[in-house]
């Protein structure tokens, strides 16, 4: 579904991303983790088109999207959430979703589907638990509600692949669990998810496979239990110490 190969990004002399390959299968929940500065955020921005890569390609369902602008990539099927929430604060919850509904179709769609759009958007609102806040300004929502809207908005863009950039930051355990359920439900609806995250409870509990980055390179890839037991990963996060009991 999503194929990243040979991805390189240099910022002047800094090699933020230095040759990364991974493939996310359709219907998978794929985790991307790594210590701070490992290149996770840069990778996210490269996949979404915020930066153009110095080298490498990105493909969605076989289609090369490396040269596309961010909005073109959404049309190709990839949507993202932002680490520091970027909602349209002066628009209502409903309008935030509405903006994301970018399907083509022109006049006929516009004339015929007002009702269908309302019901589809309504459904997404229910899913995010925000139906009762439909007409509230996004800037007036609580932090948790804003995070849910951020997710809902990305879903409203009707992607094939959903890229979540540290969605659990600042959440308590209960909220993380709710997020976990929501991600699983999204997979059940046919979405593929690329999850970039620091919060290990979420990553280990929801992903099928994980890739670990360090210093701009992939140092490990595998199932959650494989990753947990990988000495290279432990070293990257914790330093070399035989005593450490790692993630658990």
Partner 1 sequence: MDFYAGLAQVIGIHTLLGLSAYCVLLTGQVSIAQAGFFAIGAYTAGVMTVIGDAHILTAIVTGAAAAGVVAALIGFPALRVRGLMLVVATVAFGEAVRLLFFNFTWRVEKDGVMVGPTGTEGFRQIRYFPENGWSTLDVTLLIWAVTALVLAALWWMDRSRAGAVLRATGADELAAQSVGVSITAVKVSAMAIGGVIAGLGGGLYAHVTTHIEHAQFGVMLATFAIAYPILGGLSSVFGTVLAVIFVQGFLIEGLRFMGDWRNLLFGALIVLAMNLRPSGLLDAQGLRVLGNLFKRKERGHA
CA distance 183 to 201: 14
Closest CA to 219 of 243, 235, 199, 205: 235
Binding partner 1 by CB under 8 A: which of 2, 24, 48, 168?
Answer: 48
Cα 199 from Cα 226, distance rounded (Å): 18
Measured in whole angstroms, how far is the alpha carbon of residue 89 from the centre of its chain? Answer: 21
Instruction: Give me 225's structure tokens.
Output: 């239990």
- Applying CB under 8 A, the site for partner 1 has a residue count of 29
156 makes contact with partner 1 (CB under 8 A): yes
Closest to partner 1 by CB, 159 or 224: 159
Residue 4 or 155: which CB sits closer to partner 1?
155
148 binds partner 1 (CB under 8 A): no
According to CB under 8 A, which residues from 74 to 133 bind partner 1? Answer: 74-75, 79-80, 82, 86-91, 95-96, 98-102
6 three-state secondary structure: strand
- Strands 29-33, 209-214: pairing is parallel
Q: How far is the CB of 86 from partner 1 (least distance, A)?
A: 4
Rounded CA-CA distance 148/127 in Å is 9
In the complex, least distance from residue 140 CB atom to partner 1, rounded to whole angstroms: 10
Residues in contact with partner 1 by CB under 8 A are 48-50, 69-71, 74-75, 79-80, 82, 86-91, 95-96, 98-102, 137, 153-154, 156-157
């Amino acid at each position: 579904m999503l194929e990243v190969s040979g991805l390189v990004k240099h910022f002047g002399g800094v090699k933020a991303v230095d040759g990364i390959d991974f493939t996310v299968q359709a219907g998978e929940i794929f985790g991307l983790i790594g210590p701070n500065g490992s290149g996770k955020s840069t990778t996210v921005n490269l996949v979404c088109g915020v930066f153009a890569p110095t080298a490498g390609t990105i493909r969605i369902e076989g289609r090369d999207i490396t040269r596309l602008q961010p909005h073109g990539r959404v049309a190709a099927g990839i949507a993202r959430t932002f680490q520091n929430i970027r909602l349209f604060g002066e628009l209502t919850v409903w309008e935030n979703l509405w903006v994301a509904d970018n399907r083509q179709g022109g006049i006929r769609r516009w004339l015929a589907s007002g009702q269908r759009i309302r019901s589809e958007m309504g459904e997404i609102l229910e899913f995010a638990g925000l139906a009762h806040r439909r007409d509230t300004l996004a800037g007036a929502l609580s932090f948790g509600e804003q995070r849910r809207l951020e997710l809902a908005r990305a879903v409203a863009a009707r992607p094939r692949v959903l890229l979540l950039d540290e969605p659990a930051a600042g959440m308590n355990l209960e909220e993380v669990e709710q997020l976990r359920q929501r991600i699983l439900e999204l997979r059940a609806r046919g979405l593929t998810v690329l999850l970039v995250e620091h919060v290990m409870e979420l990553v280990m509990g929801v992903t099928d496979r994980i890739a670990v980055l360090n210093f701009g390179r992939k140092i490990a890839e595998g199932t959650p239990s494989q990753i947990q037991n990988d000495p290279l990963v432990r070293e990257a996060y914790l330093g070399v110490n035989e005593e450490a009991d790692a993630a658990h």
